[in-house]
Structures are given as C-alpha cells and as structure tokens.
Structure 1
Amino acid sequence: MLIFTDKSTIISGNSAGKEGMSKGVFKKCDIRGIYPDELNPDLALRIGRAIGTKLTSGCVVAGDVRPSTPKLKDSLIKGLIQTGCEVVDVGIAPTPVVYFAKEKLNVEGAVIVTASHNPPEYNGFKFMLGDIPPTDREIEEIKKITFNRSTIKKGKGRVYKKDILIPYEQWITKRFSHLSSLINKKGKFKVIVDAGNGCWSGYAERIMRKVNIDVFSIFSNPDGNFPNRSPNSALEENLTAVKNEVSKNKADLGIAFDGDGDRVSFIDDEGRFVPADEIISLFVRWILSSHPGGKIVYDIKCSSIVPDSVKKMGGLALVEKSGHTYIKSRLIRENAIFGGEISGHFFFGELKRDDALFACFLLIEILLRKKEKLSSLRKNLPSYFITPDIRIKYKGKDRERIVKEISSFFKSSYPVEEIDGVKIKFEDGWGLIRVSVTEPLFTFRFESTGKEGVLRIAQRLIPHLPREVGEKILQILDKKYIADKINNQ
C-alpha cells in the first residue's frame, strides 16, 4: 500500500502567467486554453481547417459539457468541411466513447472539444490523425497550418449526425455480460458513481445497471460549470463527497470520473482514496496472470509498486514519459497488454486505447472473482512512502542545464532514467526532477521504503539545485512535516 506524504500537489511560488497569444494554446499533447481570451470560435475554425488539411478521409467530432463547447464545436466542424472532410458529429460524448466511435465508423480522424480535467473557463481540442495520438511534430504542423492560411486544403465536405452512445453501451455490456451472474452469486455489488457533472453524467450508471450493479450516483446532471467539485478526479481533495457516500452506504466501491470521462479514480470499501499506482498494480497482477511475459507500460512518476508487480508476475516493465499521448503510443508500438498513468488513465491492449468505464468494469470483475474487498487487496501490495508532485517555481533560463548536470553527476554511481527529466535510483528509493514544458518551474517527486528515506533522498539532490529551490524543498520536506502527514493518513 502506498503512503502519501501529502494528499495533493504541492506548489511553491506563484503559477506562471497565462500565454497572451493564441499560439500558446498548442501544448505537447493537445490544444488547450482559456475561453475566449486564448481560444475562441475564430481560432477553432482555423484549427478545423488545419486538421482537415492533414486528413485524407473522414473525422468523428464530439464535445464535452462545457458552456463554450457548442460554439467551438460548430466552428471546428465548419473548418473541417471547408477542406472537404466528411464529418460525423456524435454530439456530447465521453472521450473513450469517441475513440470507440472512430473505430466503429472506420474514420481516419477524431476531435473532441474538451479541456479534460481543467477548470470550466478552459476548453480545447483532443485529436487523432490516425491510429495513434499526435506527435509533438504533428501538433507543431497543425499550429503552423492554423496560422498560415496559404497551406490550407480546400474542398466541400459534409456533416452527418449519429448516435454512438447506444452502440457503445451494447458493446461494453456484452463484453462484461458475465458480471451479472457473478453479482447474483455474491448477492449484491454496490457502487457509488461520482460523474462530477461531466460527460459520464446519467450514462455510466445506466450502463452499470445493465449488468446488475447496484448504483447510487452523485453529481450526475451534466453541467460544464462543474458546480459540485473540480473536474480533476485525480486529486483526493476533490473527492470528499464520494468518499463519504461510500462509507455512509457501505458500498463496495466508489468511482469518480474527470470532466471528459477518460480518467477515473477509485475509493475502496472503507471510504479511502486509492492511488492510481495501486490500481495499476492490481490490473498488472490480474492481466499478467493470464498473459505471462506480457509487456506493461507505465509512466515514470509511478511508484515502485508498479514495476515490482510486473517483475513478480513475470512481465516486462516499460517505463515511459508521463502523458496520455506517450503511454498510448508506446502501448501500441510495443503491442503491450496494459498501460497505466498516475493521472488515472488506464490503457488496455485488447482495445489499443484507454477507457475509464472499461477500467471500472474490469476492477469490479477482479473483486468479484477474487471474492475480496478492495481494501483487502491493497494490503497485499508493498508499502512505500511517496510524495505527490512538488512544483517549485524557478525563472532561471538554466533549468534544462541543471537537470543535465544532475544526471551527469549521479549516473556514474547510480541507475539513472532520462526519458522525462531525471529519475535517480538509490539503494532505498528514488528521486525525480522534471522541467515543466508549460511553466517556469521544476517538478519533484521522491519515494523511499521508509519515511526518513524521503527526506534523505531529497537532501542528496539539494546541493545540485539553485539555493532558493533547495530551501523550498527543505521547507516542504522537513522531518516533522513528513512524520505529521504520514501519521495523519
């Protein structure tokens, strides 16, 4: 079981100011910004033209429940059809359902108008130009085409409307139809679903009831203002309501989705938040038991319980950069059987993609077949002490150089991973330092087999950091702070 030294991301210093130019909405993995200051219908039209220029056939389009989504979606579709693209509009749909639609309809592209787990004032576009997520280079190409109209392809496309929710429901209930008999043998399986007023609202619970799951739902009315909690389901601080409902109703499981429904977090039967690293480990042990020697992709920020579980089950652990795009692309490229990210994305080899509701059903199946509670299964996992992300602002232009020098210093004595920042593996744990690609700051994470080790590992890195950064780490990770936080778990 993982023991966190704090329950949320720690931020030291003010966040970086927003990008003033609309070009700043083009991120590493998608397009995202504040509406309408950074992202407006005119820019959506141009982005639609740019994406349409890169496509050679059809594109499925959907949107989330944010107030700004309809206008952005309409403009995006106009841009797409101006390039000759055939557009299938599936309306409001969770992101995993859109991926399903792309496969079912056999179209080349997909665009979801969403800002995922960001606050309601944000919006954006997740998109695919083929079978894998866009690369950094492809996003840069879309950016260039967006602001250079002379390169835009011209044509006369059409838009069709299609309901994809029913076909998805039929597919996933057929895939997990055996849950009904398993639940009948148990007597009842009670789940609390917190849709967070996002894309799964009213839909996830309906599907679950089809396979005999006893569902009690909260925040199940679609509302893109997210009045009840943040759309970020990965942070425990946002899940107080679902935790309380699990305890109050003596439920077997709590489920919380993010805004666009591709991330999911879980609450055990004791009303306790379960870190994604632990869920990944449980999936790893289950899937590898029937696929010995299989490849597992996990992000570099994951706890050691993930590679430990892979090794124990005889699988091959493949570490990758943090980020949906990187994990999914690696899963497909390596033909891996499973992939996981601590943000709550779970990727399945049989799907070649992530699907939050699929993850829910599979976890329920594991609990039913093992005839154990989630709280009991967690106790069988190794214990590590791990920090959340520690984000420390540093405006110096030498951030990348500092990380490279730290890597050079330690790699002669310790194993070092450099796929995403620098992760140094010591005898009793590891330390990770990354440079933010969107803000002037460092991100740190530390893990050890004991609480004293967390501070000890941090102290080994501090002499190689700018003085103000090191001092802030010490302020956060002094012995008393760690001890108090751990004892309060």
Structure 2
Amino acid sequence: MTKSITCFKAYDIRGELNSQLNEEVAYRIGYAFAQELSARTVVVGSDVRLTSTPLKLALTAGLIDAGANVTDIGMAGTEEIYFATKHLGVDGGIEVTASHNPINYNGMKLVKAGSIPISGDTGLNAIKEKAELLDDHRVTTRLAHYTQQQPIDADAFFNGTAHVKKDLLIESGSYVEDSCMEAYVEHMLSYVNLDNFKPLKIVVNAGNGAAGNALDAIESELASRNIPITFIKVHHEADGTFPNGIPNPLLPENRADTADAVKAHSADFGIAWDGDFDRCFLFDADGQFIEGYYIVGLLAAAFIAKDKNSKIIYDPRVYWNTEDIVENAGGTPIKSKTGHAFIKERMRKEDAVYGGEMSAHHYFRDFAYCDSGMIPWLLIAELVSVKQQSLASMVKARIEAFPSSGEINSKLKDADAALERVTNTYKPQASVVDTTDGLGLEFGNWRFNLRKSNTEPVIRLNVESRGDIALMEEKTEELLAAIRAE
C-alpha cells in the first residue's frame, strides 16, 4: 500500500513533527533522494532544532541504503550546504531545517549537483512519489537495523533523541563527518576587499539559531587579519529550544532586542538572521529596521560600480527603487517571479551577478546563484567604510524617493473573492498591468502588487509611490479596506 507523505511543499519539505515528519519519513526521503538523482555522494547538515539531528541521521540511513556516500557537516545553515555541495563536487545536498517555522515543525531543503534547487517539477514531486512507494516492510526492517531494534518513541524524538545510531552509519563505510568551514569563510571574505574596512562596531543577533557558529568563524578570521570590527553578540549561543522565541526578524515584534542593543552600544549598524540564516536583516545606527527592498538597491549599485554590464534580478512586489538605481548606474534590471527557485533559474539564464527579494533573500552568481545571509552584511560593512557614510544616510534618500508599505498580510475566508474585488475595482484605471507574480497595477505615481499565498487563505499586499508617503499610506488603507470587506 502506498504511504501518503504530506510534508512536501512547492519548493521544499516542511511538516508538523510526528504527524507529518518523523524519522521513518526522513529515511524514506533519503532513500528516494539518492534513487531519483542516482546520487553516489551527498552532503547533509542540520540547524539547531532538537529534532534536526535525529531527522538527519534517519535521512542519512536512507541515503546510505540507496547507495550514497554521505558527508555530514554537522550543525550548519542552509547556505553552508549550498557551499559544501558545490565545493565538494557532490551529487546533491540536504539541509534539515524549519528556518522560522513554529517549534513543532521541521523540514528539509534539497539541491542537486552544483547547488541547483530541487522544486516540485524539477524532482521534488518524483522524490515524494518514490518515498511513498518504498516497501513498508523494507523500511521497518532497515530502521530496526539502524536503531538496534529500539522502538521509535515520538516524545523522545521531539525532545531530540536520535534513534538511529551514528556508529552504525560510520561502520557502513559510507558516512563521514567533516567541516567545510575554513573554505566557506574564505569564500565569504572573497566578496569584499578587507583593506577597505574602517573600524566598525556591529550588533549581531543569531536568534539562538545556526548563524552564531558561522559568524564566530568569520570573526576569528577577521581578527587574524587585524580587521577592526567589534561584534556585539545578542542571543548568540545555539539553542534548539529557542528561549528568546523563534528567530524571524521579518516580524516587527522580533526586532526590539537587536534595535535596543544597537542603541545601547552606539553601534554602526545591526544584523539579525532567521534560524538557518539564509536571510539577513539590517538595522541602522538608530536601531531602525531597514526594509529588505532598500538593501537590494544598495547591493545592486555596489555590484554595478564594479562592472557596468551587470544584470540584476529583482522580484515584482516592489521594484521602482531597484529599477531606478540599476538603470541610472548603467546596469540591466530584470524582473522575475518571486521565490528562490524562480530567482535562481532566471539568474542562471541571464548570468546575473546579483538578485534580491524584498523578503531579505539575496542571491549571488559566484555563490552558485544561491542566497546567503552572510555576504550581504559584509558588502554593507565595506560600503559603510568606503563611502564613510552611515547606513541610514545611504538609504534615507531612497526611502523618501520610493516609500513603500512593506508586505501586509490579510487572512481571509475567501482570498479568491478578495482578489477579484480588487481586480474589478482597480484594473480598469491602471496604466500598467503586470502579472509576473500575482496582480501588479501602476497608476502614474503609485502602484501595488497583490499576491495570494499558495498554502493558506492569505493575501499579501505591497504598495509604493514616487516620493509621496501620504499617497502611499492613503492607498494602502484604501486597498486594505477593499481586501478585507468580506
């Protein structure tokens, strides 16, 4: 009988622990991954969640049983898996992470050779089908071998007990533990000229996630080269119980600790990361959160300054600022559908040097077209040093020129009806209609984008204007009233 597995999403794997994702499901995924990719070498890593190591070991057992040799890089952020997959020249990589999801969730992010993402129609659906079709008796028998007949206890698993025995994986001859940290740090620092750096004081908030370990390694290398950066560390130690809350700085309520530390220590700027640190959030010297949208423009300009022929990829939610910066700097702006798989695919097609999303995902050609949460702040630190300007002063004029609402979510009974209401009201008046992703309409000196969530009855609204914050705020309220008029 086919086993139904419900944790596969459009671009990754995410599910509620025990009910959707457990050690048996992880074993099936590992086996199916190696089978689908004909993978003989795979690198794995895991974030700090208590269940991440147990899931990774069960996943590894499946990979090994399907004929793969596995390198485990230990606790790592998603970008460390991206780096290791390309650096080691392996057939694929898997990071066990739930990033910023609730504590009772976990998941996986999967890539092919060269760190090419695996999404629904590029292999993820096929992996799901193969995982579901695995013989139940075979799965039970093999897990019994790797657990030494120990029954898998759901409560123990949730609290971090790994039933799969690591020594049995090692004895198979197909499992090794290794670290790519030294090479990873060297690569991170290759994006900047360290001779440009002036003395800086930076607040860093890892949110008790995986970022702290990588930051420590970068800090150590910077210190060995006498680079004058002082780090003020907040919630730095990795802790899978997340005593200070799930790390998700995109939520306004999760920003105060970083902002307060920036002000208390008179820092030059602040950084906060999500759990697997593939997103990087920045705060100016006054502790003000800077929307990811404006960081995209800053980084785009930095790349174009080095190469006038640079192509820059951006998402369609808000983009006037990005287009204006890129075009005036002599680069080529290219719009892409939102989402890491689409951005990476378009970057490869165009050979774009950089891509950015307002959600604080930043992608780099020389990083296998993948997103990184460490490269952006290094580039910003270099910009602050070279320009001898504060981060606030670098974005102030851009925020005034193109004020935006930030993304506003509305949970509704009927998202389709709301989208239809807004379309019927506003589309006839629009001067530009953009359907790259959701509904994008322009009206001379203001515009908006409205997108439905793929997984829940939620509508996501972004509004921006040309130099008129009052108009932007007025239209935001007007649109929200129309969206929520159920």
Please give the range of the TM-score, normalised by the shorter of the 2 chains: 0.7 to 0.9
**2:403 match: secondary structure:** strand
1:140 counterpart = 2:154: no
1:435 counterpart = 2:452: yes
Does structure 1 conserve the Cα–Cα contact (< 8 Å) formed by 2:27 and 2:61?
Answer: yes
Which residue in 2 is equivalent to 1:37? 19
1:248 counterpart = 2:233: no
How much does 1:209 deviate? 4.5
User: Which piece of structure 1 moves more, 27-36 or 139-148?
Assistant: 139-148
1:228 to 229, 244, 251: 244
1:59 to 42, 67, 73: 42
1:24 counterpart = 2:6: yes
How much does 1:366 deviate? 1.1
Which residue in 1 is equivalent to 2:56? 73
Which residue in 1 is equivalent to 2:94? 111
1:84 to 37, 42, 67: 67
**1:192 match: secondary structure:** strand
How much does 1:461 deviate? 6.3
Which residue in 2 is equivalent to 1:13? none
Taking the aligned partners of 2:189 and 2:476, their CA distance within structure 1 comes to 47
User: Which piece of structure 1 moves more, 242-251 or 302-311?
Assistant: 302-311
Does structure 2 conserve the Cα–Cα contact (< 8 Å) formed by 1:117 and 1:233?
Answer: no
Does structure 1 conserve the Cα–Cα contact (< 8 Å) formed by 2:344 and 2:370?
Answer: yes
Listed one character per residue, the Cα deviations across residues 167-191 of structure 1 (whole Å, up to 9, x for unaligned) are 3224434654x42x434xx4x2111
Map residues 49-448 of structure 1 onto 2, 5 A cutoff: 49-56=31-38, 57-131=40-114, 132-137=116-121, 138-149=123-134, 158-173=174-189, 176=192, 178-179=193-194, 181-183=195-197, 186=198, 188-211=199-222, 212=227, 213-351=229-367, 352-383=369-400, 384-396=402-414, 398=416, 402=420, 406=423, 410=427, 413-448=430-465
Taking the aligned partners of 1:346 and 1:88, their CA distance within structure 2 comes to 27
Change (3 A) 1:162 1:428: same
Does structure 1 conserve the Cα–Cα contact (< 8 Å) formed by 2:4 and 2:132?
Answer: no
Change (3 A) 1:161 1:285: same
Taking the aligned partners of 1:451 and 1:214, their CA distance within structure 2 comes to 36
**1:75 match: secondary structure:** helix
How much does 1:371 deviate? 1.4
**1:221 match: secondary structure:** coil
Taking the aligned partners of 1:92 and 1:411, their CA distance within structure 2 comes to 53
Taking the aligned partners of 2:476 and 2:406, their CA distance within structure 1 comes to 13
Taking the aligned partners of 1:459 and 1:198, their CA distance within structure 2 comes to 36
Which residue in 2 is equivalent to 1:3? none
Matching residue's letter, 1:28: A
Listed one character per residue, the Cα deviations across residues 113-157 of structure 1 (whole Å, up to 9, x for unaligned) are 001122222110001123321132122222222212279x99998
Does structure 2 conserve the Cα–Cα contact (< 8 Å) formed by 1:62 and 1:113?
Answer: yes
Taking the aligned partners of 1:206 and 1:64, their CA distance within structure 2 comes to 16
Does structure 2 conserve the Cα–Cα contact (< 8 Å) formed by 1:337 and 1:348?
Answer: yes
Taking the aligned partners of 2:67 and 2:125, their CA distance within structure 1 comes to 22
Change (3 A) 1:342 1:174: closer
Taking the aligned partners of 1:303 and 1:272, their CA distance within structure 2 comes to 21
Does structure 2 conserve the Cα–Cα contact (< 8 Å) formed by 1:119 and 1:231?
Answer: no
**1:432 match: secondary structure:** strand
Change (3 A) 1:44 1:471: same
Query: What is the RMSD computed on CA atoms of the aligned residues?
Result: 2.9
Matching residue's letter, 2:390: K
Taking the aligned partners of 1:391 and 1:175, their CA distance within structure 2 comes to 35
Matching residue's letter, 1:268: D
Change (3 A) 1:174 1:140: closer
Matching residue's letter, 2:435: E
Taking the aligned partners of 2:102 and 2:267, their CA distance within structure 1 comes to 29
Matching residue's letter, 1:29: Y
**1:62 match: secondary structure:** strand
Taking the aligned partners of 1:346 and 1:461, their CA distance within structure 2 comes to 29
Does structure 2 conserve the Cα–Cα contact (< 8 Å) formed by 1:298 and 1:317?
Answer: yes
Which residue in 2 is equivalent to 1:478? none
Does structure 1 conserve the Cα–Cα contact (< 8 Å) formed by 2:405 and 2:476?
Answer: no
**1:282 match: secondary structure:** helix
How many residue pairs match? The answer is 441
Q: Higher relative CO (CA 8 A, sep ≥ 6), structure 1 or 2?
A: 1
Change (3 A) 1:411 1:348: farther
User: Which piece of structure 1 moves more, 116-125 or 295-304?
Assistant: 295-304
Taking the aligned partners of 1:247 and 1:305, their CA distance within structure 2 comes to 28
User: Which piece of structure 1 moves more, 394-403 or 336-345?
Assistant: 394-403
How much does 1:443 deviate? 2.2
Listed one character per residue, the Cα deviations across residues 264-303 of structure 1 (whole Å, up to 9, x for unaligned) are 1111122211111111111111111222132111112234
Taking the aligned partners of 1:42 and 1:409, their CA distance within structure 2 comes to 50
Taking the aligned partners of 1:113 and 1:40, their CA distance within structure 2 comes to 12
**2:375 match: secondary structure:** helix
Which residue in 2 is equivalent to 1:9? none
Q: Percent identity of the aligned residues? A: 31
**2:366 match: secondary structure:** coil
Listed one character per residue, the Cα deviations across residues 396-453 of structure 1 (whole Å, up to 9, x for unaligned) are 48559838x9389837952122122111111121122212110123222222232443
How much does 1:91 deviate? 0.8
Listed one character per residue, the Cα deviations across residues 19-64 of structure 1 (whole Å, up to 9, x for unaligned) are xx96332111100012122211111111111111112231110000
Taking the aligned partners of 1:88 and 1:250, their CA distance within structure 2 comes to 42
Which residue in 2 is equivalent to 1:475? none
